Amino acid sequence: MPKKDGYKTREKILQVAEDLFSEFGFDGTSIAKISKAAGVNKGLIYYHFKDKKDIVVSILQSIIGEIDRKTDFSKTEDDQPDNPDMLQDKIRMEVEYCMRRKRIITVMLMESLKKDEKADFLFQCADLVMKQEMDGIRKKMSTGQTTDPEWTSRFRVHEFFTGFMPIISFVVLQDKWCKYFDCERDKALDYFLDSFQRTHLSSHHGTD
Amino acid sequence: MPKKDGYKTREKILQVAEDLFSEFGFDGTSIAKISKAAGVNKGLIYYHFKDKKDIVVSILQSIIGEIDRKTDFSKTEDDQPDNPDMLQDKIRMEVEYCMRRKRIITVMLMESLKKDEKADFLFQCADLVMKQEMDGIRKKMSTGQTTDPEWTSRFRVHEFFTGFMPIISFVVLQDKWCKYFDCERDKALDYFLDSFQRTHLSSHHGTD
Amino acid sequence: MPKKDGYKTREKILQVAEDLFSEFGFDGTSIAKISKAAGVNKGLIYYHFKDKKDIVVSILQSIIGEIDRKTDFSKTEDDQPDNPDMLQDKIRMEVEYCMRRKRIITVMLMESLKKDEKADFLFQCADLVMKQEMDGIRKKMSTGQTTDPEWTSRFRVHEFFTGFMPIISFVVLQDKWCKYFDCERDKALDYFLDSFQRTHLSSHHGTD
Amino acid sequence: MPKKDGYKTREKILQVAEDLFSEFGFDGTSIAKISKAAGVNKGLIYYHFKDKKDIVVSILQSIIGEIDRKTDFSKTEDDQPDNPDMLQDKIRMEVEYCMRRKRIITVMLMESLKKDEKADFLFQCADLVMKQEMDGIRKKMSTGQTTDPEWTSRFRVHEFFTGFMPIISFVVLQDKWCKYFDCERDKALDYFLDSFQRTHLSSHHGTD
DNA sequence: AATGAATGAGCCTTCATTCAT
DNA sequence: CATGAATGAAGGCTCATTCAT
């Protein structure tokens, strides 16, 4: 199938690479595997990407960009949910978004665990999300407290490890969890949202 | 090089492999690297282990055994903490234990993210811990509720995703987190324990 | 990128290729490297040249042509130097010419060392030069000696290995020589010309 | 053919690599070619050598060592030839030695032409030979002249470009030369030795 | 219990070359 | 003339694994 679009080829490669990386990890996925799955010539991959790492970086940058656009957009609106019901709806939507981007998030988490990785995409991602959260809070509180570096640091730890990571973990492990503990996917989601509500979200009322 | 006793060699290999796996991942760590770092002959590794996977399984099984012994021991005691202070102390000790076993936990999490892994050590591990928790609760509540499969399922989701995973995440990512967000290790730990108290632990009061 | 005239493109490619071949050798220089350095599209190179070998052949043929024209020209004149001073001046000019064409000569020598090369440009080149020399001698000697095949053979060996090759070697290795033995370029040239005078040139007096 | 000597394997690899490098050049010789010609597994080459360059360096170092031993040995003796006949015999022997090591010398010359090469084996080699020559001269002259840096520099240029290089060139190009100019090998050698005598060697009488 | 040598498959990457546009 | 996309072979090198000693 010669002389195709070029842009489409690149997209196809990224798409199957995302799949394979999330299944087998970066090191566990060979260029040969990718080229075969994408139905393109192995050498062609090096026409579109500098090297193997360039592929994973392209993938991860794309979600950074996506989140950046999403959070930027929200900032302009004033739709910070006030009551618990709206908050829970918002969380459900965010979890659902993450589930749609599950594969890429898996890659992101996998890579963030390695020591030598320069690309801290997981943290970059979380940083964007947390900045948006902080903006929302600042609008409501209007005290100087939110500019205190210690408060910021404390807030970040709180959001990341008891908010962000539980969601990431759930999205990434849900399938395997349900298989291992013999639980239906939908129920697991409901239970998780309920737990998240009772833990992370309820803690926000104290913070606000 | 002289005829040492094989037990020490085996231990040395496991210890070195744990380090390397946690740094570079399973696929990113070669037998040659391990043999060099352990100062033993490459062929000798195959005397002590069936294959490469056998090494990582041995490593992960060792922590399963360790946790099994720990939780078994606790079961005999009746030291389930009743008041918040005792509970927080208990958590701090558990986090500190996890930090000591950080490297092996990293390996465990890394491997659990892959799709094709048969050995779900992360879940096995969590299962042991959660069983102990459930035993403690059953002793106090003595209602039939705790044998209800739905309650069990709900409890598991709650414990795993809002209790177990935040701790695992913190332990595994702390160093990189502190570097990225420019935060001192000790402070991050204090903030985390505080957040964990206000989220997961406080939710238990409702459950009890 | 706009429609330039193809002649300039061709020249640019040859010029850049000459540089790269002389630095990294034929095998060490890729078409991609050449196209990048020349600022032209990789495919375009195949519009101007049949294949990679065609490039090097074009380069080497150009110097053959150049020397052919030079020696042809000299033949018409009767300026064969008679006295040592004029001879040395002539040699200095020839060495200086070779130094200007240093890069292409390097390529020529490199390729001539390989066994499988069909195109022996080095010998073609030497042949042209030696023919001119022989013509000059024949004019002066006017004996039948110079048509004797053994005399010709002996003459060729003499000219090539103690005349031609020292000059080629000097031109091609001068830079690296000066670096390794910590010697100034100008002095090295003077010493070489002096040596050449005392060896190869002085031998001619006996021959004449 | 498993479980051989190890040392013998290494030697076999070096030997066929020397052949192939001298025929096709370093870049023109693939590891696959070497492994096939040596009858050993491709991967095994990397057990014995760090990388491809390590092979060529090993080859070239071996001749450096050889020459070092040869020249060291001669130093102790006082066999510097005094009369022309002895001198010519000595040269003939040296040329014959070079012809036996022709292949390795071809590799050496090929590599010395590249720009980026760190390994100046050709110069190292020449340096050893020239030091011996200088020692011989010093013994005879016993004047301070030989310690003058300019004299040394001049001597080096002379020896290298009108003595060393003609021999190297002859040895390396003899076969191709004879083919191109239709000349018998033996005659070419005789002619060359005669020319060398009349050029480089006769110049030494003036120097002494 | 331990070693060094050997294997073959597979790795990432680059190559010269082609061709539709 | 000129380009970008595509191909298939080959490049150097590392891998997990085996086995005679």
Report chain C's terminal Cα–Cα distance, integer Å.
59
Tell me: pLDDT of A208 over 70.
Answer: no
The one-letter code for the residue type at C149 is: P
Least confident of A192-196, B6-10, B203-207, D39-43: B203-207
Kindly give the interhelix angle for C102-113 and C165-180, rounded to the nearest 10 degrees. 110
Residues near A44 by Cβ (< 8 Å), separated by ≥ 6? Answer: A9, A35
Residue C206's pLDDT band (boundaries 50, 70, 90)? very low
Write the CA distances from A29 to A34, A45, C199, integer angstroms: 7, 14, 66
C-beta of residue C170 within 8 angstroms of C-beta of residue D161: yes
CA D160 distance to own-chain centroid: 12
User: Which pLDDT value is given to residue B71?
Assistant: 82
Nearest-Cα residue of chain C relative to residue D192 = C157
CA distance linking residue A88 with residue C121, whole number of Å: 81
Q: How many CB pairs under 8 A join A and B?
A: 149
Write the CA distances from D146 to A40, D78, D154, integer angstroms: 69, 19, 11
Q: Supply the DSSP string of D148-196, one letter for each residue.
A: -HHHHHHHHHHHIIIIIHHHHHHHHHHHHHHHHHT--HHHHHHHHHHHH
Report chain A's terminal Cα–Cα distance, integer Å.
59
Task: Name the 3-class secondary structure at B183.
Answer: coil
User: Which pLDDT value is given to residue C140?
Assistant: 75
Mean pLDDT (whole number) for A31-36: 97
Q: Model pTM greater than 0.85? A: yes
User: Which pLDDT value is given to residue D152?
Assistant: 93
Q: How many CB pairs under 8 A join C and D?
A: 148
User: Which pLDDT value is given to residue B16?
Assistant: 97
Least confident of A41-50, B3-12, C39-48, C127-136: B3-12
Least confident of B6-15, B79-88, C174-183, D149-158: B79-88
Question: What is the 8-class DSSP label of residue D197?
Answer: I
Q: Does the distance separating the beta carbons of A196 and B198 come in below 8 Å?
A: no
CA B179 distance to own-chain centroid: 23
Phi, psi of A70 (to 5 degrees): -60, -50
Write the CA distances from A15 to A10, A18, A120, integer angstroms: 9, 5, 21
Q: For B11-68, what is each residue's pLDDT tens digit?
A: 999 999 999 999 999 999 999 999 999 999 999 999 999 999 999 999 999 999 999 9
CA C25 distance to own-chain centroid: 16
Tell me: pLDDT of B103 over 50.
Answer: yes
Task: Name the 3-class secondary structure at A143.
Answer: coil
User: Which pLDDT value is given to residue B77?
Assistant: 54
User: Which pLDDT value is given to residue C4?
Assistant: 54
Compute the nearest-CA separation of B154 from chain A (Å).
6
Which nucleotide lies closest to A2 by the C1' atom and the CA atom? F6
Burial class (CB in 10 A: 0-12, 13-18, 19+), A200: buried
Chain D residue numbers touching C165 (CB-CB < 8 A): 165-166, 169
User: Which pLDDT value is given to residue D86?
Assistant: 79
Which nucleotide lies closest to B41 by the C1' atom and the CA atom? E3
Q: Which percentage of chain A shows pLDDT scores above 90?
A: 70
Tell me: pLDDT of C119 over 90.
Answer: no
C-beta of residue B156 within 8 angstroms of C-beta of residue A181: yes
Q: For C126-137, what is each residue's pLDDT tens digit?
A: 999 999 888 888
Least confident of A11-15, A98-102, B77-81, D143-147: B77-81
Chain E: positions less than 7 Å from a protein CB are 1-21
- The residue whose two tokens read 């939908």 is A186
Question: What is the 8-class DSSP label of residue A144?
Answer: G
Residue D29 approaches strand F within 7 Å at CB: yes
CA distance linking residue B132 with residue B167, whole number of Å: 17
Write the CA distances from D133 to B43, C193, D157, D202, integer angstroms: 52, 21, 13, 15
Nearest-Cα residue of chain D relative to residue C172 = D113
C-beta of residue B161 within 8 angstroms of C-beta of residue A200: no
Phi, psi of B140 (to 5 degrees): -80, -40
Q: Does the distance separating the beta carbons of D200 and C176 come in below 8 Å?
A: no
Report chain D's terminal Cα–Cα distance, integer Å.
59
Pick the more confident residue, C82 or D18: D18
Q: For B108-137, what is each residue's pLDDT tens digit?
A: 999 999 986 666 999 999 999 999 888 888
10 Å Cβ neighbour count for A199?
26
Nearest-Cα residue of chain C relative to residue D21 = C114
What is the three-state SS of chain C? Answer: CCCCCHHHHHHHHHHHHHHHHHHHCCCCCCHHHHHHHHCCCHHHHHHHCCCHHHHHHHHHHHHHHHHHHHHHHHHHCCCCCCCHHHHHHHHHHHHHHHHHCHHHHHHHHHHHHCCCCCCCHHHHHHHHHHHHHHHHHHHHHCCHHHHCHHHHHHHHHHHHHHHHHHHHHHHHHHHHHHHHCCCCHHHHHHHHHHHHHHHHHHHHHHHC
Write the CA distances from D65 to B94, C136, D69, D90, integer angstroms: 64, 46, 6, 21
Q: Does the distance separating the beta carbons of C116 and D23 come in below 8 Å?
A: yes
Q: For A102-143, what is each residue's pLDDT tens digit?
A: 999 999 999 999 987 677 999 999 999 999 888 888 877 766
Tell me: pLDDT of A22 over 80.
Answer: yes
Compute the nearest-CA separation of C34 from chain D (Å).
17
Q: Which percentage of chain C shows pLDDT scores above 70?
A: 85
Residue A53 approaches strand E within 7 Å at CB: yes
Least Cα distance to A207 among A155, A150, A153, A160 occurs for A155
CA B194 distance to own-chain centroid: 21
The helix or strand, by DSSP H or E, that contains position D108, with its residue range, turns out to be helix D102-113
Low-confidence ranges of chain D (pLDDT < 70): 1-4, 73-84, 117-118, 142-144, 146, 204-208
The one-letter code for the residue type at D96 is: E
User: Which pLDDT value is given to residue C77?
Assistant: 54
Task: Name the 3-class secondary structure at B118.
Answer: coil
Chain B residue numbers touching A169 (CB-CB < 8 A): 161, 165, 169
Residue A41 approaches strand E within 7 Å at CB: no
In window 20-79 of C, residues with CB < 7 A from nucleic chain F are 40-44, 47
B53 CA – F19 C1', rounded, Å: 21
Residue A14: CA atoms inside 13 Å, Cβ hemisphere, count?
17
Residues near C165 by Cβ (< 8 Å), separated by ≥ 6? Answer: D165, D166, D169
User: Which pLDDT value is given to residue C2?
Assistant: 45
Residue C113 approaches strand F within 7 Å at CB: no
- The residue whose two tokens read 């594969």 is A103
Least Cα distance to A113 among B95, B175, B120 occurs for B175
For the CA atoms of C81, C84, C87, C92, the dihedral, rounded to the nearest 10 degrees, stands at -160
When the pLDDT of each residue in chain B is averaged and rounded to a whole number, the result is: 88
User: Which pLDDT value is given to residue D6?
Assistant: 84
- The residue whose two tokens read 């013999």 is A182
Nearest-Cα residue of chain B relative to residue A105 = B113
Pick the more confident residue, C4 or C102: C102
Compute the nearest-CA separation of A2 from chain B (Å).
33
- For F21, which residue's CA is nearest its C1'? D3
Q: For A52-98, what is each residue's pLDDT tens digit?
A: 999 999 999 999 999 999 887 655 555 555 666 788 888 999 999 99
C-beta of residue B141 within 8 angstroms of C-beta of residue B208: yes
User: Which pLDDT value is given to residue A14?
Assistant: 97
Q: For B91-102, what is each residue's pLDDT tens digit?
A: 999 999 999 999
Least confident of A197-201, B60-64, B80-84, C28-32: B80-84
C73 CA – F15 C1', rounded, Å: 64
C-beta of residue A14 within 8 angstroms of C-beta of residue A55: yes
Q: For B125-170, what is each residue's pLDDT tens digit?
A: 999 999 988 888 887 776 666 678 899 999 999 999 999 999 999 9
B130 CA – E13 C1', rounded, Å: 48
- The residue whose two tokens read 């991609």 is C32
CA A81 distance to own-chain centroid: 21
User: Which pLDDT value is given to residue B90?
Assistant: 87
Chain A residue numbers touching B28 (CB-CB < 8 A): 27, 114
- The residue whose two tokens read 């990113």 is B28
The length of chain A is: 208
Structure tokens at B96: 């500190």
D43 CA – F13 C1', rounded, Å: 8
- The residue whose two tokens read 């090097």 is C56
CA distance linking residue B109 with residue B102, whole number of Å: 11
Q: Supply the DSSP string of B133-169, one letter for each residue.
A: HHHHHHHHH-SGGGG-HHHHHHHHHHHIIIIIHHHHH
CA distance linking residue C132 with residue C126, whole number of Å: 10
